[in-house]
Amino acid sequence: MKNSFGLAALLVALASAGSALAQVNWPGDQAPHAILPVRDEVQNRELLASAAERLEKVSNALAGYQEALEGGEEATKKIKPLDVGKTFVDNGQLGRFAKLLALVGEPAGPELSLRHHNFYQQLADLRSRLKQLPAVQKALPKALEQLKQRAKRGLNGLKTVDALIREKKWDDAANRLFELRDNLDELGFWFEGAQVAADYEPYDQRMETIQPNWWQWWREQNNARIDQQREAQAPNFAALLTEVEEAASGLAANGKALVASQQLSGPELVSHFVARWQQVQLAALRSRALQWSRDGDQEGWDRTRVTEL
């Protein structure tokens, strides 16, 4: 009975301390806008850095637009429609980097995708408000003509995209097509689909071919590595529980326990197992995320699964 009480007390302390530390190291009340970390791999770090750059740009831009809206009519007039269109493009790039992070099994991918969708809604609301301004209404016909000119000039770029499709160079084809689409979206953001459908059609046709093949290419490039990492990341809950039970027995018998070749007191054991518990928790999260990347849909992740994490 004494040993059971010691084990229970140690587990309760471990869970409580682990939760407190997790709030400091992960997004929470102390750092609500922190981004989830990624595995220490060059590709993943670069993807996260690119996503973080877009996240900061969009967040700062939206804050500036909101400040202008709150500053009255004169301040609102200073918001340039093309700047808002560029923010829309930055947010689209954020969404793409988020999907790629999801495809390589990073929890940061789905989390950043949620932010991307939230930003999109804010931009849509901003567009609705600005389109009521006479100055913006006056500028839109010229912007539409500029969009049509960009769409025509971009047709030459589609020849390169077509060649890359024939060669099945999906990553190169996708990146080139995104460049062309981003150039259109700076202006196309302001118009309803029917107004610009004909201009976008050649680009959308290529996208229908490229996107599923691009996602599949990313999976094939990463699956073998992901399988190895998933096996390595698999959490060993049984080993941790055995360690805790043995430590509890040592505490009950001697007031100290031998752990990792050291005699540790009760408080020292709590600190030790808090760190171990966090490692196991993180391993479980990463192992599950790696499984998602193997099972995900063509969009790179399934939003209905976020709550399972």
Distance CA 129, CA 190 (A): 12
| pLDDT tens readout for residues 75-92 | 888 899 999 999 999 999
pLDDT the model gives residue 12: 45
pLDDT the model gives residue 28: 56
Q: Are 190 and 140 in contact (CB under 8 A)?
A: yes
Number of helices (H), then strands (E), in the chain: 10, 2
- DSSP secondary structure code for residue 159 in this structure: H
| pLDDT tens readout for residues 14-52 | 444 444 333 334 565 566 678 888 888 888 899 999 999
What residue spans define the domains of the chain?
2-28+234-308, 50-218
SS3 for 240-291, per residue? HHHHHHHHHHHHHHHCCEEECCEEECHHHHHHHHHHHHHHHHHHHHHHHHHH
Dump the DSSP string for 100-116. HHHHTT-THHHHHHHHH
Name residues of the chain where pLDDT drops below 50: 1-25, 297-309
pLDDT the model gives residue 216: 86
| pLDDT tens readout for residues 257-287 | 656 656 666 677 667 667 777 777 777 877 7
- Mean pLDDT, all residues of the chain: 81
pLDDT the model gives residue 226: 77
